[in-house]
Amino acid sequence: MNSIDSTSAVATANSGALSLRKLLILVGSPRREGNSATMAQAVKLGAEEAGIQVALHFVDDHITSFLRDCRTCRRADGECGIQDRFRELFYEQFLAADGVVFCSPVYWYGLSAQMKAFFDRTFCYYAASHPDSAAVMRRMSGKRIGLVLASEETYPGASLGIAHQIQEYARYTYSEFVGVVRGAGNRRGEVAEDPGGPLEQAERMGREFFSRKYTDYRMDTPRSPRVWGGE
């Protein structure tokens, strides 16, 4: 990918009043009443409490195919040749959002294939061979990113690979990775019984999504010696 001006990308994403911010919640599970969806609904509730404009979508309502070889698949006008609803999700929801929460089950210690396909399919639009590539890269950058994961196992290592992947995605796109919520459960909605309170954590993430303090320093970053409060 070409380099991009991180300062202007983040400034663009951070402009405007908090209440006007748009949050997209993507669910990567096929289960409509599953644990990822249950936590996604909690994020939505919290965000709505904060006056954030929220949209929630299931990835598999929009994606019916993996990424293909763009050389053979791309249409003569440069557009993606795959005929499903990914473009609509990507342009109207993802690019238009100031923040995105990815909600996925842990499948084989990774994201679900549905959610992974979402990331892969963006390639078609930011690749240099797409006519809108520069604008797409600009609009992919500088968002706030959150992660919500449902798993059967409670061991922290089960989701570390996914957290690392999303961190790298955030770094690559000059985005701000503001938090992770993990809930344990197997049966649909069982996550509500997790004593760690993932639904409360998810609701809080939604409520604080754009106001939560985010810092990622370098050695020379000017800063106060205190993290919270006065000097």
Ligand X SMILES: Cc1cc2nc3c(=O)[nH]c(=O)nc-3n(C[C@H](O)[C@H](O)[C@H](O)COP(=O)(O)O)c2cc1C
Q: Binder to ligand X among 21, 24, 26, 29 (CB under 6 A)?
A: 29
Interaxial angle between packed helices 198-207 and 35-49, expressed in degrees from 0 to 180 and rounded to the nearest 10: 40
Residue 198 interacts with ligand X (CB under 6 A): yes or no: no
Residue 105 interacts with ligand X (CB under 6 A): yes or no: yes
**Residue span binding ligand X (CB under 6 A) among the ranges 10-18, 71-79, 170-178, 180-188:** 180-188
Residue 142 interacts with ligand X (CB under 6 A): yes or no: no
For residues 2 and 88, give the distance between their C-alpha atoms in angstroms, rounded to a whole number: 24
Residue 120 interacts with ligand X (CB under 6 A): yes or no: no
Picking from 93, 125, 108, the residue whose alpha carbon sits closest to that of residue 25 is 93
Give the shortest CB-160-to-ligand X separation in angstroms.
12
Residues 6+ apart with CB under 8 A from 141: 4, 6, 9, 10, 13, 173, 174, 175
Angle at 28 between CA 22 and CA 30, to 5 degrees: 130
Q: Point out the residue whose Cβ comes nearest to ligand X.
A: 34
**Residue span binding ligand X (CB under 6 A) among the ranges 42-50, 84-92, 150-158, 205-213:** 150-158
Angle at 18 between CA 169 and CA 164, to 5 degrees: 15
Residues of the shown chain interacting with ligand X in the complex, contacts defined by CB under 6 A: 29, 31, 34-37, 105-109, 150-153, 158, 185-186, 188
